[in-house]
């Protein structure tokens, strides 16, 4: 089949996967504007819908979307503590911080900045955010609160001398 014939052929996919007790129905249909309509529906053993995701995809973006979705779903699993079939124990069970390696949300950036400015210590922030003390320090350096390699808190300024 030539590249042109492959590019112009309609892509239709109707696939069913059974993982654990969950049934996944995946359907993909071509659209008139050369996109792909994707729908994934999961249901439990009783046929009740558990999750549904759908959208329109550009074929040229499939590789990038694959990486984005895999990364996003892996991060969501880590954030919620959900384990997939055959996965290793959650990071917290291996002695690692629960959010170790997870992306920082903008709201968390603001919160860690505010808590640092309020005087919270490294260990306190690490426990609060589910991060390591090194992760907290690194984020505060990234946010400009601590100079790279600088002290956690600069020494307090000397009180003004009375004249």
State the Cα–Cα distance between residues 71 and 40, nearest whole angstrom.
Answer: 18
Identify the pLDDT of residue 128.
92
pTM > 0.85 = no
Identify the pLDDT of residue 10.
60
State the Cα–Cα distance between residues 21 and 85, nearest whole angstrom.
Answer: 11
Identify the pLDDT of residue 92.
44
Identify the pLDDT of residue 153.
75
Query: Inter-axis angle of helices 106-118 and 133-142, to 10 degrees?
Result: 100
End-to-end CA distance of the chain: 91
Identify the pLDDT of residue 159.
56
State the Cα–Cα distance between residues 129 and 73, nearest whole angstrom.
Answer: 20
Identify the pLDDT of residue 36.
84
The answer to whether 14 and 38 are in contact (CB under 8 A) is no
Closest CA to 135 of 149, 122, 152, 119: 122
What phi and psi, each to the nearest 5 degrees, are found at residue 132?
Answer: -85, 165
Identify the pLDDT of residue 112.
94
pLDDT tens-place string over residues 14-30: 788 787 788 888 888 78
Instruction: Kindly state the tokens that stand for 77.
Output: 């699993």
**Three-state SS for 27?**
strand
* Pairing outcome for strands 49-57 and 22-30: unpaired
State the Cα–Cα distance between residues 158 and 149, nearest whole angstrom.
Answer: 23
Digit-by-digit pLDDT tens for the chain (163 residues) are 344 443 555 667 778 878 778 888 888 878 888 888 888 888 888 888 888 888 888 888 888 888 878 777 777 777 788 776 555 554 444 567 888 888 899 999 999 999 999 999 999 999 999 999 889 999 999 999 998 888 887 555 555 566 5
């Amino acid at each position: 089949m030539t590249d042109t014939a492959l590019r112009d052929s309609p892509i239709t996919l109707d696939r069913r996967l059974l993982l654990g007790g969950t049934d996944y129905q995946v359907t993909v249909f071509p659209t008139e504007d050369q996109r792909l309509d994707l729908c994934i529906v999961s249901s439990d053993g009783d046929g009740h819908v558990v999750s549904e995701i759908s959208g329109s995809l550009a074929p040229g973006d499939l590789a990038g979307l694959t990486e984005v979705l895999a990364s996003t779903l892996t991060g969501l699993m880590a954030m919620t503590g959900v384990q997939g079939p055959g996965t290793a124990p959650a990071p917290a069970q291996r002695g690692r911080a629960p959010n170790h390696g997870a992306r920082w949300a903008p709201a968390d950036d603001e919160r860690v900045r505010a808590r640092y400015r309020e005087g919270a210590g490294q260990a306190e922030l690490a426990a609060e955010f589910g991060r390591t003390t090194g992760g907290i320090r690194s984020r505060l350096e990234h946010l400009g609160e601590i100079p790279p390699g600088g002290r956690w808190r600069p020494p307090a300024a000397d009180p003004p001398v009375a004249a």
